[in-house]
Every structure is written in C-alpha cells, then in structure tokens.
Amino acid sequence: MACTTGARSTQRYYSALILPKFLLVAVVAIIGITMVMAADPDPLQGFCVGDLTSNITVNGLVCKNPAKVTPSDFIYTGLEKPLAFSKFYRNSVNTAFVMAFPGINTQGISMARLDYLPQGLNVPHWHPRASEVLFVVNGPLEVGFVDENNFLWANTLQTGDITIFPRGLVHFQYNNGSTNALAIAALSSQNPGRQNSGNSVFGTDIPNIILEKTFNLSPEVVVKLKKFFKSQAQGKRINEEATSEDQSKNLNRLFLSLLTEAL
C-alpha cells in the first residue's frame, strides 16, 4: 500500500551541483532549529568540540581542551560540493557527522548533502540513532518510508519541500526526473549510523539456512545474494570492469531469479 501526492502543475528545477554558501547557511539555520528534540544526551556545557586524537573511549568524543579550541572548530566546508557519484546507484552521499565535523560533538545534530543523477537512488536504509528531516534544494524527488505496520508512506517532493523520516524506519529517495536532484538532510544525532536493508541481511554472516527458510529461497539464490551484497560492503561491484548498464542487467537477472524461485 502507498500514500502518494498528486502531480503538481508547476515544477521548478535548478541545474547547479554546487550548493551556494548562502543557501547552505539558510538551510542550517532553518532545519537546524527544527532538530532541538535531539536523540543524543543533552549537553552539560556550552560546547564540547570533539578531540579526534584522544584514545579515551566514551559515549561520543572526549572534549578538546577549551584552551585549544578556535573559531575554525565550529565551521565545516565539506558540503559545498558532492562526493564522487556511485556508478551503480548514480548518487552521492556527503555527510557532516561528528568524525568529520567535531564541533557538533554533544549537540545532538548532524547534516548530509545528497546528490542524485537522473535515476539516482539512495537505497532503502535506516538510521538507528536519528530521525531525519530532508529539504529538497533541487527537485523533484521520489521519497518514502515504511512504518512498523509495513505501510509505505510515499511522496513526490518538489524544490523547497521538506519531509520527515522517523528514527529507525526504512526510507529511500529516488530521482525519477531528467535532471540532477539535490537535497540536504538534518539528523537528530551527531552520529546517526546507517544500515542498508539488503546489506544488513545478505551482506552479513547470517547462516545461509536461516536466510533460506526466512525468505523461502534456494541455497543457490542465497549464495548469489550474499556475493552481491558482500561485494558492496567491501566497496566493490559485481564485474567491476563492466559498464553501469551491464551491472544493472546483472542485478536485474539476480532479482528475477530470486522472484522466480520465490514463486
């Protein structure tokens, strides 16, 4: 089942991949205010810039010596441009989590930049420690999340729209348009975590017999699925020398065999 919004008569498009600094500041100011209900523990002091050099293990990061904190600890410029695009999924995810931006340590918030080429996909995944507010800078963008009753809440977002992905629920974004799409996410944790749906099952060492019985699959299909998702977890791709089109055909054949087996 799905809950969808109707098509709109007017669609606005932007072509630039580089997010203007003034717009990034506005997004941080507007979306950041909405995230005061942080999932992380409340801070006990004004700020606690994370010390990435410390070997002490705590729930978060040890505070940097205040005498060594500088104004530059409270800025991060890494979201100005997208990271390299995935050739397979045609998307780019650039995060400003605490390990990249120690200034947000103990503040219960982080951000991410998400770019999508046409047919670009941010695969179904969830954040175990954070809710997410998504602001569409350049749309349209197909989005959705699945609740605990397995109901899909899906929408088509246009430029300027925002949506919410509740903490711990599977969600996705897909650019079904003909131009590049861009979104900015604010998350209610300095370290939201991320688990992809496929990788969390078939990219693990769960015994094959468990997966065979759970999904009613043959041993051969389970082996193929594990090979595919484990190769992704290792930063590889099936047939790395193949083109994206060839890779897509490989994946389509894989899931077609899975569907045939299930039926």
Q: pLDDT tens digit string along 240-255? A: 333 444 444 455 555 5
Task: Report how far residue 50's alpha carbon sits from residue 35's, in angstroms, rounded to the nearest whole number.
Answer: 20
41 shares its domain with 87:
yes
Sheet of strand 171-174: strand arrangement: 2-3, 152-157, 141-146, 171-174, 121-126, 195-196
205 shares its domain with 230:
yes
Q: Which domain holds residue 18?
A: 2-193
Domains contained in the chain, number: 2
Neighbours of 43 (CB within 10 A): 14
Verdict on whether the full-model pTM lies above 0.85: no
182 shares its domain with 229:
no
Q: Which of 86, 84, 103 is nearest to 28 (CA)?
A: 103
125 shares its domain with 212:
no
Q: Find the CATH number of the domain harbouring 67.
A: 2.60.120.10
Of 160, 193, 226, which residue constitutes the final position of a domain? Answer: 193
116 shares its domain with 35:
yes
Q: Residue 24 in contact with residue 173, Cβ under 8 Å?
A: no
Of 193, 223, 244, which residue constitutes the final position of a domain? Answer: 193
Cα angle 142-147-153, degrees, rounded to a multiple of 5: 30
73 shares its domain with 169:
yes
At 148, the pLDDT band (50, 70, 90 cuts) reads very high
Task: Report how far residue 202's alpha carbon sits from residue 224's, in angstroms, rounded to the nearest whole number.
Answer: 9
Tell me the pLDDT tens digit for each residue of 30-61.
Answer: 555 444 445 687 887 889 999 999 988 888 89
